[in-house]
Amino acid sequence: MTAKAKHLDLWQVSKTYQSAQGPVEAVSDVTMSIEEGDFVSILGPSGCGKSTLMMMLAGLESITDGVVVERGRQVTGPREDVGLIFQDATLLPWLSVLDNVLFPVKILKKPRNEYLRRAHDLLAMVGLSKFENHRPSQLSGGMRQRVSICRALILDPPLLMMDEPFSALDAITRDEMNLALLDIWQKNPKTGVFITHSIREAVLLSDRVLVMGGRPSKVVCDIKIPFGRPRPDDIAESPEFNKLCGELKQYIQSGHKHMEEVST
Ligand SMILES: Nc1ncnc2c1ncn2[C@@H]1O[C@H](COP(=O)(O)OP(=O)(O)OP(=O)(O)O)[C@@H](O)[C@H]1O
């Protein structure tokens, strides 16, 4: 079996914020790789540095120490080949759904006609063809987040980073969005970094799950998810799925306890 190429390489990556109350060591000494095409979730207690780590990988937050390399090139700032999705869909209220999806094309001054077909196809894939001319205020939260997924995919970036993209949605819509994301990955595989507080969501979607914890925060657990793709519909009911969730829960709880002990 041939080894997969590395998409991201992190070497001794740390981040210390300077705040009015003094330095905050948010991430400490993370060394790891993420392989091409892998969907990697990051779990961990609140405040353990998950978003900070993702922002450093995306080149949107400076790195205090260490190096991040993407496909052989050191990351020094934001770049076009990363799609980003956040908890809030952050759509532009005055633009139609279609124009929101095409917004990165406009900003980067790429030819609209070349991306129009892709925008229609993406919106069809997430079931929003009939809403292309609607404004974001006419959509539900789940629909808005589906538009933001299409916007992140419009330039077909090889890397998609998602920071708790479904945490503001109700449970049923969240399950639907998980299935939509599995479907998108099946049809158009890419490298993914996904931050979530939901253990089950992480196990369902991922090829690998990392748990961050401790103070200063590190990667305390790195588990390969043994399920192939496409994932069977009833995978989340299987004993193996639930066993993995149980193991991850224990790692998170011990990281949580450690953070509480240090902060008291
Ligand atoms: N701009 C900033 N200035 C100072 N401290 C910051 C800044 N941003 C984050 N922090 C601190 O860094 C630590 C890590 O924050 P981060 O948002 O990365 O954690 P997180 O694991 O994503 O949390 P959550 O799950 O609650 O979103 C926290 O202690 C936070 O208070």
Q: Is the pLDDT of residue 264 over 80?
A: no
Residue 238: inside a domain:
yes
Distance 164 CA to ligand 1 centre (A): 14
Residue 130: inside a domain:
no
Closest CA to 13 of 233, 179, 219, 197: 219
Q: Is the pLDDT of residue 263 over 90?
A: no
Average pLDDT over all residues of the chain = 91
Residue 171: inside a domain:
no
Residue 112: inside a domain:
no
The CATH number linked to 246 is 3.40.50
Nearest residue (by CA) to ligand 1, atom 1, is 17
CA angle 122, 103, 144 (to 5 degrees): 55
Q: Find the mean pLDDT for residues 234-254.
A: 92
The predicted-structure confidence for 48-95, as pLDDT tens digits, reads as follows 999 999 999 999 999 999 999 999 999 999 888 899 999 888 999 999
**What per-residue string of b and e applies to 5-43 under the rule 16 or more CB within 10 Å gives b?**
ebbbbbeebbbeeeeeeeeeebbbebeeebeeebbbbbb
How many domains is the chain partitioned into structurally? 1
Say which DSSP state 172 is in: H
Q: Which domain holds residue 65?
A: 1-78+212-254
Residue 176: inside a domain:
no
Residue 9: inside a domain:
yes
Provide ipTM, 2 decimals: 0.98
The predicted-structure confidence for 135-170, as pLDDT tens digits, reads as follows 999 999 999 999 999 999 999 999 999 999 998 888
Cα-Cα-Cα-Cα torsion 54, 57, 60, 61, nearest 10 degrees, comes to: 80
Cα-Cα-Cα-Cα torsion 158, 161, 165, 171, nearest 10 degrees, comes to: 70
The predicted-structure confidence for 186-207, as pLDDT tens digits, reads as follows 888 899 999 999 999 999 999 9
The predicted-structure confidence for 90-120, as pLDDT tens digits, reads as follows 999 999 999 999 999 999 999 999 999 999 9
Say which DSSP state 254 is in: H
Give the pLDDT of residue 79. 87
Nearest residue (by CA) to ligand 1, atom 29, is 47
Residue 160: inside a domain:
no
Identify the residues whose C-beta falls under 6 Å from ligand 1: 17, 19, 24, 26, 44, 46-52
Atom of ligand 1 nearest to the CA of 53: 18
Residue 36: inside a domain:
yes
Q: Is the pLDDT of residue 258 over 70?
A: no
Nearest residue (by CA) to ligand 1, atom 12, is 26
Distance 27 CA to ligand 1 centre (A): 9
Q: Is the pLDDT of residue 215 over 90?
A: no
Give the pLDDT of residue 259. 52
